[in-house]
Amino acid sequence: MDAFLAAGAAFMDPYLLGLVLIGTVGGVLVGAMPGLSSTMATALLLPFTLTMDPIPAIALLSALYCAGTYGGSITAILVNAPGAPPAAATAFDGYPLAQQGRAGLALGMAAVSSVIGGLFSVVVLIVAAPLLARVAYDFGPPEYFALSLFGLSMLATISGESAVKNLIGGAFGVLLATIGMDFTTGVDRFTFGFWELSEGIHFIPVMIGLFAGAEFLTQAGQLDRVQVRAALDAVRLPGMEHFRKCAGTIARSCGIGTFIGLLPAEGGTVAAMIGYNEAKRWARDKSQFGKGDIRGIAGPETANNAATGAAMVPTLALGIPGSATTAIILGALLVHGLRPGPHLFTETPTLLYAIFLAMLLANLVFGMFGLIGAKLFARVTLIPVRFLWPSVFVLACIGAYALEQSVLDVWIMVFAGLLGFVLKRYGFAAAPIIMGLILGELVENSLKQSLIIFDHEWLRFLERPIVVTFLALTLFSALWPLVSVWRARRAAAAAAE
């Protein structure tokens, strides 16, 4: 209770309040801009939060995360170009509604359902994170090793071109994490004689490069893209008849988004797609889906925002990121000298309550701003890409440089950007690599410690029930996409015969 009051008192400070407001407005703006996601924005912003105290820094990033998830819906509805991947499903029915001259209704439903989903997930975060942390108190290195393997295996099920490619990306990230001095022996690995690499590759330049650098190159290949704009009528709250129609969808999507968000590595994009599919599956009249059904907005928007708070649960309680953006927030906690996991709840409870409050506030503020200012936020798409993306690249360079004030980090960022672009062309997503890079140290250290505990007898991992459970889940989540593909092909072959 004292910690909660202390966090509440911290929010009386206009500086912290102002930061959360800036993070929220900034999040909506970057979320609305196609190509600029909240993940990229948190990656770009992270280096500049290093000079702040942990509470304002993490509160700012959390607010940006919540608002950015909502912001993507604005351009999905108005210009059929989702500002961020979690809003992709919103465009299916949002844009047709906008074309029918009912953009206001679509934007209003997106704002309201996002707020409901977001608030629900923060309540889940407040309740579930301490409970999960309490369970995690009993975890030793073998459990953390199995848990981090489970987190990496879940990469197989996140959206992307191929489950195997996601797993390769995750393993590549873990390999990147081995660059530098081995912590037990002091031996340099993959440093190629560069002493600067002895401390390892910092994930911030890699992350900025993979997201911002690669997107800069992607935009260079799309300069002839023409966006069709829909006329926007007044933004008005959906009426009671719309709420009645969407109540079931919103309730279901709250559950779907929360469940998906709780799973390691899964995030808003998967939640939104499932939210949309379930909204359609449960509807008696499916004929209007894809043509402008309001439930096609309520479903994905509730689900992707419900995933935000839920994704913070494994991030804070276990140190295993629940999504790409929470992986960056996890990184922010680490660079601020905090070790996510159960001890965070006993050592820095004020910080945790501040995160909860920042997310609550961000949800309320973006809901209000979304209803009042969606028309204004949509104008960010008017910024010419010929000026916007060079500016983003310069900011990416500053972000990479500011960390250690080292040009080597800028080179790493640019190299990561070039690599990210090539990998993207061949179906490899950036998020698994980042997850692997962030989890790599935990995987290696917990494995080494476990082997010492077990006196190098690998079979002794199987003596611990929690480890066995996580290893079974790891096997299941890694193999499930392959089994699904095999079953789908068998079904297709049977149908063809």
Q: Minimum distance between the CB of residue 317 and another protein, rounded to whole angstroms?
A: 26
Three-class DSSP category at 199 = helix
What is the distance between the alpha carbons of residues 14 and 294, in angstroms, rounded to a whole number? 38
Instruction: Determine, following the binding rule CB under 8 A, whether residue 391 of this chain makes contact with another protein.
Output: yes
Q: Which residue has the tokens 């959360």?
A: 20
Of residues 75 and 121, the one with the C-beta less far from another protein: 75
Contact 451/245 with Cβ under 8 angstroms?
no
In this chain, which stretch among 5-13, 317-325, 381-389, 468-476 interacts with another protein, using CB under 8 A?
Answer: 381-389
Member of 175, 334, 335, 466 binding another protein (CB under 8 A): 175
Q: Which of residues 213-242 bind another protein (CB under 8 A)?
A: 213, 216-217, 220-228
Member of 19, 155, 167, 303 binding another protein (CB under 8 A): 167
Contact 277/140 with Cβ under 8 angstroms?
no
Instruction: Determine, following the binding rule CB under 8 A, whether residue 494 of this chain makes contact with another protein.
Output: no
How many residues contact another protein, by CB under 8 A? 72
Q: Work out the number of other CB atoms within 10 angstroms of the CB of residue 375.
A: 16
Residue 45 has phi, psi (to 5 degrees) of: -80, -30
Q: Which of residues 444-463 bind another protein (CB under 8 A)?
A: 444, 447-448, 451-452, 456
Q: Minimum distance between the CB of residue 9 and another protein, rounded to whole angstroms?
A: 27
**Angle, vertex CA 320, rays to CA 4 and CA 395, nearest 5:** 85
What is the distance between the alpha carbons of residues 43 and 178, in angstroms, rounded to a whole number? 21
Identify the DSSP state of 138. T
One character per residue 29-58, x = contact with another protein (rule: CB under 8 A): -----xx------------x--x-------
Closest CA to 333 of 352, 360, 358: 352
What is the distance between the alpha carbons of residues 210 and 414, in angstroms, rounded to a whole number? 9
Instruction: Determine, following the binding rule CB under 8 A, whether residue 110 of this chain makes contact with another protein.
Output: no
- In sign, the C-alpha dihedral spanning 182, 203, 138, 478 is negative
Of residues 306 and 410, the one with the C-beta less far from another protein: 410
Q: Minimum distance between the CB of residue 459 and another protein, rounded to whole angstroms?
A: 16
Q: Which of residues 260-289 bind another protein (CB under 8 A)?
A: none
Of residues 145 and 369, the one with the C-beta less far from another protein: 145
- Rounded to whole angstroms, the maximal C-alpha distance in the chain is 69
Instruction: Determine, following the binding rule CB under 8 A, whether residue 195 of this chain makes contact with another protein.
Output: no
Instruction: Determine, following the binding rule CB under 8 A, whether residue 364 of this chain makes contact with another protein.
Output: no
Q: Minimum distance between the CB of residue 234 and another protein, rounded to whole angstroms?
A: 26
Of residues 239 and 427, the one with the C-beta less far from another protein: 427
Closest CA to 235 of 108, 112, 379, 114: 108
Contact 297/106 with Cβ under 8 angstroms?
yes
Q: Minimum distance between the CB of residue 21 and another protein, rounded to whole angstroms?
A: 18
Q: Which of residues 396-435 bind another protein (CB under 8 A)?
A: 397-398, 401-402, 405, 407, 410-411, 414, 417-418, 421, 425-427
What is the distance between the alpha carbons of residues 269 and 158, in angstroms, rounded to a whole number? 8
